[in-house]
Amino acid sequence: GAGVSQSPSNKVTEKGKDVELRCDPISGHTALYWYRQSLGQGLEFLIYFQGNSAPDKSGLPSDRFSAERTGGSVSTLTIQRTQQEDSAVYLCASSLDKDTEAFFGQGTRLTVV
């Protein structure tokens, strides 16, 4: 596709349920990032994938959060046992390499009720 694609665009879930958020990066981009944009915390780094290297998970807020990137392309961010404080817009970005411009998707707005 032309840009970074995220799905779903909106997700409402009940507290305690698991959710999966998907990111399709720009084809050929080796770097993929997840960020979270919330009212209380602003924009925060979550996780970074670079090629076949082990991901940088240092931004994940708890062990309920995990992410994987299959075949160096599509990435899935999973949140287990969702809490109300997980409500936020989850943004995915990709870049050709770690030093080049990051292109952002439109985000997934997650609401935990």
Partner 1 sequence: GDSVTQMEGPVTLSEEAFLTINCTYTATGYPSLFWYVQYPGEGLQLLLKATKADDKGSNKGFEATYRKETTSFHLEKGSVQVSDSAVYFCALQNPNYQLIWGAGTKLIIKP
99 lies in the binding site for partner 1 (CB under 8 A): yes
Question: Which residues from 1-60 bind partner 1, rule CB under 8 A?
Answer: 4, 31, 33, 35, 42-45, 48, 50, 56, 58-59
Q: Which is nearer to partner 1, 36 or 86 (CB)?
A: 36
Minimum distance from CB of 40 to partner 1 (Å)?
11
Cα(79)–Cα(72) distance, integer angstroms: 21
Minimum distance from CB of 59 to partner 1 (Å)?
7
Is residue 55 reached through a cis peptide bond, with omega within 30 degrees of 0 on the bond before it? Answer: no
65 lies in the binding site for partner 1 (CB under 8 A): no
CA–CA distance from 75 to each of 14, 72, 91 (Å)?
23, 8, 12
Which residues are near partner 1 by CB under 8 A?
4, 31, 33, 35, 42-45, 48, 50, 56, 58-59, 91, 93, 98-99, 101-107
